[in-house]
Amino acid sequence: MAPTAEEWIARFAEALGKPAPDEDTMEAILELASVAAHSSERKAAPIACWLAAGGDLAEAQRIAESLS
């Protein structure tokens, strides 16, 4: 059986030597990805999340929404 998304993310984070995001952070990332994907092409979602990594996700969300 394939791992859940949360299990896979935890394993990936561990392999990268980074902490896995908590539930609130994952939700914020998914919301940002949704705005980016629906405002442009799907490929905008992962790139937007990469650009926002380590920063203020709420601010990134506001900026993304302002571009929509």
Q: Which long-range contacts (CB under 8 A, 24 or more apart) does 30-34 make?
A: 31/61, 32/57, 32/60, 32/61, 32/64
pLDDT computed for residue 21 by the predictor: 96
Each residue of 20-66: pLDDT tens digit?
999 999 999 999 999 999 999 999 999 999 999 999 999 999 999 99
**What pTM did the predictor assign?**
0.87
Residue that the structure tokens 């939700």 belong to: 27
**Nearest-angstrom CA–CA distance, 46 and 44:** 6
Q: Which two tokens stand for residue 18?
A: 């980074």
